[in-house]
Amino acid sequence: MLQDKPFYVILGAVRQPWIRRRLVFIRPLLVLVGKTTAEVGCSYPMRTRLGCGKLKYFSAKHAIKMMAAMKLSPPVVSRRAAITAGAGFMINPKTSRAASEVKAFGLIGDRFHNSDYIRIALNRSIGNGLGVSLDLCDETKMLTADTLKGYKLLVILRDGQSWPDGYPDESTNAAWDNAGKPAIVSDPPLPPTSAKPRFWMKPEQGEAVRHFVENGGSALFLHNVTHIGLTDANFRHVLGAAYAGHPVIRKFKVKVRNTDHPITRGVRDFVVTDEQHYMDYDKDPKHILLETANEDGLTFRDRGATSLGGWAYDYGNGRVCYFSPGHMISVLWNPEYIKLQQNAVRWLLRQAA
Ligand SMILES: [Zn+2]
């Protein structure tokens, strides 16, 4: 069956070293060369889905050499196709049903928010829950105008920092913390690094997000994404806010402030244990949908016990929605919060409820 497939490859990516670097670590990486197949790390379910059981195994390097020997010119493959392949879909974007359904690109995960719980949560609430195909990625440089082409929805749950020189300590590693923070020994010793964070969003990335939404795309922003608002003016203009901080994880109530909106329809107030985020909100108060309130009266700095929990508005030809909860999978899966996320995606995509 595989031999009957047309010539289609993701090897086009090898012409662009930065994609190649990613793909080497993406499973499954599958390379199909005419009637010859080469596969790297292709999972059994993937082989089954392709209807083939006799794939030859080559290294990616060998497959590339083989193509060169066959004088095959790798076609250009879009970043979207590369991401789709990484997400485990079939590879040919023209023939793949899954790829043709892709609508949302998500940038998730940072030092303080591992991408795994976010991926699991969003795949259930938005992916499986709504039938939206999500291409989720934790590589900030993938957020470009080129990547966003072809997507209808952008989702971001991550902060504005990256740590290319490593961390100053392992305090965000739960297993190390649970072990009682044992002394960290390394022999030979680790080379010293600055271990300082950097703002990752480049001006062209902020512009890309702004143009994407202005031109009819929509954006679902979650939780600590307000932190990016501190780092880029265009991004802040789209999001409508910038991060102001949060107290330690505690219980608070998420209250629906505007019950007359498609996003909050049928949603009751709910209680969660999470980071209660505070922010400086820039837009018209009429767009506010939710607020968060610590009902024990616990405040944060001089900002009181209540903060904003979410808002939504039209932006250019597109739409924007933000919700502040999201530090843990338990909050992302609160049934009322799932309703909010799903209502929001329907509203952002202009789908009937
Ligand atoms: Zn958080």
Q: Cα of 81 to ligand 1 centre, how many Å?
A: 30
Q: How far apart are CA 219 and CA 237, in angstroms?
A: 13
**Mind listing the pLDDT tens digit for each residue in 197-248?**
999 999 999 999 999 999 999 999 999 999 999 999 999 999 999 999 999 9
pLDDT of 336 higher than 90: yes
**Mind listing the pLDDT tens digit for each residue in 141-161?**
999 999 999 899 999 999 999
Kindly give the pairing relationship between strand 102-108 and strand 250-256.
unpaired
Q: Cα of 224 to ligand 1 centre, how many Å?
A: 6
Q: Cα of 341 to ligand 1 centre, how many Å?
A: 17
Q: Cα of 113 to ligand 1 centre, how many Å?
A: 6
- More confident position, 13 or 288: 288
Q: Cα of 324 to ligand 1 centre, how many Å?
A: 9
- More confident position, 37 or 252: 252
**Mean pLDDT (whole number) for 77-106:** 48
The architecture that CATH gives domain 101-160+200-348 is: 3-Layer(aba) Sandwich (3.40)
pLDDT of 169 higher than 70: yes
Query: Which pLDDT belongs to residue 94?
Result: 32
pTM, two decimals, is 0.74
pLDDT band, residue 97 (cuts 50/70/90):
very low
Of 50-54, 202-206, 261-265, the least confident: 50-54
3-class DSSP state of 189: coil
pLDDT of 63 higher than 80: no
Instruction: Please choose, from the candidates 149, 97, 98, the residue with its C-alpha nearest in 3D space to the C-alpha of residue 127.
Output: 98
**Mean pLDDT (whole number) for 165-184:** 94
Q: How far apart are CA 84 and CA 135, in angstroms?
A: 6
**Mean pLDDT (whole number) for 314-342:** 98
55: Cβ–Cβ under 8 A, 6 or more apart, which residues?
2, 37, 38, 39, 42, 47
Who surrounds ion ligand 1 at CB < 5 A?
224, 275, 327
Whether the ω angle into residue 188 lies within 30 degrees of 0, i.e. cis, is yes
pLDDT of 255 higher than 70: yes
pLDDT of 110 higher than 90: yes
Q: Cα of 196 to ligand 1 centre, how many Å?
A: 19
pLDDT band, residue 353 (cuts 50/70/90):
low
- More confident position, 57 or 283: 283
Q: Cα of 112 to ligand 1 centre, how many Å?
A: 7
Q: Cα of 340 to ligand 1 centre, how many Å?
A: 19
| Strongest mean pLDDT among 20-29, 83-92, 104-113 | 104-113
CA torsion angle 349 203 288 104 (round to 10):
20
CB count in 10 Å sphere of residue 173: 13
Q: How far apart are CA 283 and CA 241, in angstroms?
A: 8
Q: Cα of 276 to ligand 1 centre, how many Å?
A: 9
Q: How far apart are CA 183 and CA 186, in angstroms?
A: 10
Query: Which pLDDT belongs to residue 69?
Result: 60
Q: Cα of 275 to ligand 1 centre, how many Å?
A: 6
